[in-house]
């Protein structure tokens, strides 16, 4: 584990955003950065829940609240709250960007530090990963096509890298590791 090394970084710590559709592997990728490299971890859905959906008992309710934020023009406000949770002195993984405004706010707040990873996976593979969360395939499809999820594809073109994740967790971790190495060496997309 490299967490001690990462926490000592004082010069220009990284902020790596992770996006993708439900079940693509974005949380696994962000948690890998936390576990393997000591990144601070912050998640959009947690910030949203703390802000507006304190009584959110289900993902469906959180999606509804998230859509109300997006449709109500409060996405920048959500980002301000999230950015306020990012420590200045250590690397940070931001899980769950869903809108181009999320990318724009993080890029503006961390112009030389922010990089986005887009995790991509086939719908069938994603369904297999999240079967325990949804009662049936139709409920997964409804969640996957919810309006709050519809801007994710627009983030693909903004990503530092697009990682295909239709294999094992070890394969995903290897891809994240390779991209982190590129980012640290100053690589461009």
Cα(87)–Cα(132) distance, integer angstroms: 34
Query: CB neighbours (10 Å) of residue 79?
Result: 23
Residue 8: its pLDDT value, please?
38
Stretches in the chain below the pLDDT threshold 50: 1-10
* Phi and psi at residue 77, to the nearest 5°: -65, -40
Residue 49: its pLDDT value, please?
83
| % of the chain at pLDDT higher than 90 | 71
Residue 154: its pLDDT value, please?
97
Residue 80: its pLDDT value, please?
94
Nearest to 82 by CA among 71, 64, 67, 66: 66
Which residues, other chains included, contact 152 with Cβ-Cβ below 8 Å and sequence gap of 6+?
19, 20, 21, 97, 98
Q: Which helix (H) or strand (E) holds 138?
A: helix 137-144
Q: What pLDDT, in 10s, does the model give residues 44-71? A: 988 888 887 565 556 667 777 787 887 7
Domains present along the chain, CATH in parentheses:
32-184 (3.40.50.300)
Residue 7: its pLDDT value, please?
40
Residue 189: its pLDDT value, please?
61
Which residues, other chains included, contact 88 with Cβ-Cβ below 8 Å and sequence gap of 6+?
13
Residue 67: its pLDDT value, please?
76
Residue 59: its pLDDT value, please?
62
Cα(119)–Cα(20) distance, integer angstroms: 5
Residue 41: its pLDDT value, please?
98
């Amino acid at each position: 584990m490299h967490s001690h090394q990462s926490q000592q970084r004082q010069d220009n710590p990284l902020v790596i955003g992770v996006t993708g559709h439900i079940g693509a592997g974005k949380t696994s990728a962000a948690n890998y950065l936390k576990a393997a490299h000591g990144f601070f971890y912050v998640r959009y859905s947690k910030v949203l829940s703390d802000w507006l959906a304190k009584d959110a008992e289900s993902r469906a309710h959180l999606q509804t609240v998230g859509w109300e934020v997006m449709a109500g023009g409060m996405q920048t406000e959500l980002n301000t709250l999230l950015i306020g949770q990012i420590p200045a002195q250590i690397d940070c993984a931001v899980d769950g960007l869903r809108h181009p405004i999320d990318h724009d706010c993080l890029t503006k707040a961390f112009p030389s530090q922010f990089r986005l990873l887009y995790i991509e996976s086939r719908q069938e593979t994603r369904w297999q990963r999240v079967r325990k969360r949804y009662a049936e395939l139709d409920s997964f499809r409804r969640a996957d096509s919810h309006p709050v999820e519809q801007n994710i594809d627009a983030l693909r073109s903004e990503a530092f890298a697009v990682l295909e994740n239709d294999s094992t967790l070890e394969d995903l971790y290897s891809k994240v590791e390779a991209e982190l190495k590129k980012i640290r060496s100053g690589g461009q997309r």
